[in-house]
Amino acid sequence: SKSYKIAVLPGDGIGPEVTNESVKILKVIGEVFQYNFEFNYGVMGAEAIYQTGNPLPDETLELCKNSDAVLFGAIGDPAFDNNPDAKVRPEQGLLKLRKELGLFANIRPIKTYASLIKKSPLKREIVDGTDIQIYRELISGIYFGEKFTDENGDYAYDLCKYSKEEIAGITHLAFQDAQKRKKKLTLIDKANVLDTSRLWRKIVKEIALEYPDVTLDFMFVDNAAMQMILNPKQFDVILTENMFGDIISDEASVIGGSIGLLPSASIGDDNALFEPIHGSYPQAKGKGIANPIASILSAAMLLDYLKLNVAADKLRQSVEHAVESKFVTVDLNAEQNYSTSEVGDFIADYI
């Protein structure tokens, strides 16, 4: 049977709880489909700072580099957020890991579940049938550019920089996906103001010539933030730079009624990492109420990446079964109040 090394980084807040469920389910999948998954754990984020002083210890980075895929939970801790002077921050661990693994493309599917549409803050007719694939550039732009704060705290800067190569890599992936979907790609930028956005527009236009079956259009980010709510169904594949992707994909996460359902894949040439879109949700930590589905669907994307597509589809069906049976956590079903691990068990049993 085939063997796969999976690095598991539970991270902060509810990260460990939801990741537990995914590992539990992957183990079941391993048995059912006869795959040999080897799970190796590493620390990252606030947990890692508390234990080692470093949000991404070298051993964790090495572990990830030597694995076939990384399953990651969540990052962030209010103790750091509320301290603007902290020199070391949990998020640095995730940013560094993305960079070191070369995970240039973050893919975030946004779709709706029939039985959950009523949970959406948006009207049914606006969101019903939304199916968007967001491609967010993940290892460049302002999050990774030079940063500076002068010692007196009189000024600070962050540099947003993009190279042709950085733009081209993710652009090809997005076009290839668009070809398999509705053949429409929207570049979100602020090309009426920013030089980096104009570079994006230029390079994406050039690359579009190689994909003549895909319709390319452009939208300014401010308008896109409106259009995502006014008419999300106008979008098929969205391509955008790092920070715009961060904002627009979190915004889009409200469409289906719960951010607790949304997975993501971060892909590089030699590595890949899978994580929920949601954050560490520290208020829920340890209460057994966290929705594990975003993590479990991230595990399904991991299976796809390993080309174990039959298992991935089976896992997605099991999740859909849980959702349509309302066997879900309190965020989606306040009456029954199933716990994180009950939902995980239910999905595992169905496999």
Ligand X SMILES: CC(C)[C@H](C(=O)O)[C@@H](O)C(=O)O
List the catalytic residues: 143, 190, 222, 246, 250
How far, in whole angstroms, is CA 350 from its chain's centroid? 25
Each residue 1-20 as x (binds its own copies by CB under 8 A) or -, in order, gives --------------------
- Report residue 222 as tokens: 């401010």
> Which region, judged by CB under 8 A, interacts with its own copies, from 61-69, 170-178, 218-226, 318-326?
218-226
- The answer to whether 96 contacts its own copies (rule: CB under 8 A) is no
> Which region, judged by CB under 8 A, interacts with its own copies, from 35-43, 64-72, 219-227, 341-349?
219-227
Is the Cβ–Cβ distance between 328 and 338 less than 8 Å?
yes
Residue 222 assigned ligand-binding role = yes
The distance of closest approach from Cβ of residue 193 to ligand X in the complex, given in angstroms and rounded to an integer, is: 5
- Round to whole Å and give the CA distance between 11 and 9: 6
- The answer to whether 173 contacts its own copies (rule: CB under 8 A) is no
225 vs 351 by CB, closer to its own copies = 225
Residue type, 346: F
On the 0-12 / 13-18 / 19+ scale of CB atoms within 10 A, 230 is exposed
Report CA torsion sign: 331, 332, 336, 338.
negative
Each residue 223-252 as x (binds its own copies by CB under 8 A) or -, in order, gives x-xx-xxxx-----------x--xxxxxx-
Indicate the SS3 state at residue 214: coil
In angstroms, the Cα distances linking 217 to 110, 126, 295 are: 19, 21, 32
175 binds, among ligand X, its own copies, none (CB under 5 to 8 A by kind): none
193 vs 230 by CB, closer to ligand X = 193
- The answer to whether 207 contacts its own copies (rule: CB under 8 A) is no
- The answer to whether 283 contacts its own copies (rule: CB under 8 A) is no
154 vs 270 by CB, closer to its own copies = 154
- The answer to whether 211 contacts its own copies (rule: CB under 8 A) is no
The distance of closest approach from Cβ of residue 213 to its own copies in the complex, given in angstroms and rounded to an integer, is: 21
* Number of Cβ within a 10 Å radius of residue 114: 12
Residue 201 assigned ligand-binding role = no
Strands 263-267, 272-276: pairing kind: antiparallel
Tell me the residue nearest to ligand X as measured from the CB. 91
Largest CA distance in the chain: 61
**Torsion angle of alpha carbons 86, 282, 252, 345, nearest 10°?**
140
41 vs 218 by CB, closer to its own copies = 218
Residue 98 assigned ligand-binding role = yes
Residues linked to residue 188 through DSSP beta bridges, in sequence order = 219, 240
Q: Which of 255, 269, 239, 103 is nearest to 178 (CA)?
A: 239
Q: Which of 6, 14, 64, 95 binds its own copies (CB under 8 A)?
A: 95
The distance of closest approach from Cβ of residue 296 to ligand X in the complex, given in angstroms and rounded to an integer, is: 18
In angstroms, the Cα distances linking 278 to 32, 162, 207 are: 29, 26, 32
Which stretches of the chain bind ligand X, using CB under 6 A? 75-76, 91, 94-95, 192-193, 222, 246
Is the Cβ–Cβ distance between 259 and 291 less than 8 Å?
no
95 vs 294 by CB, closer to ligand X = 95
For the sheet with 215-220, list strands across it: 36-41, 3-11, 69-74, 272-276, 263-267, 105-111, 131-137, 237-240, 184-189, 215-220
Binding site, annotated residues: 98, 108, 136, 222, 246, 250
Binding site for its own copies (CB under 8 A): 76, 80-82, 84-85, 89-91, 95, 121-123, 126, 142-143, 145, 147-149, 153-164, 190-196, 198-199, 201-203, 205, 218, 220-223, 225-226, 228-231, 243, 246-251, 253-254, 259, 279
Query: Residues annotated in the binding site for substrate, as ranges?
Result: 98, 108, 136, 222
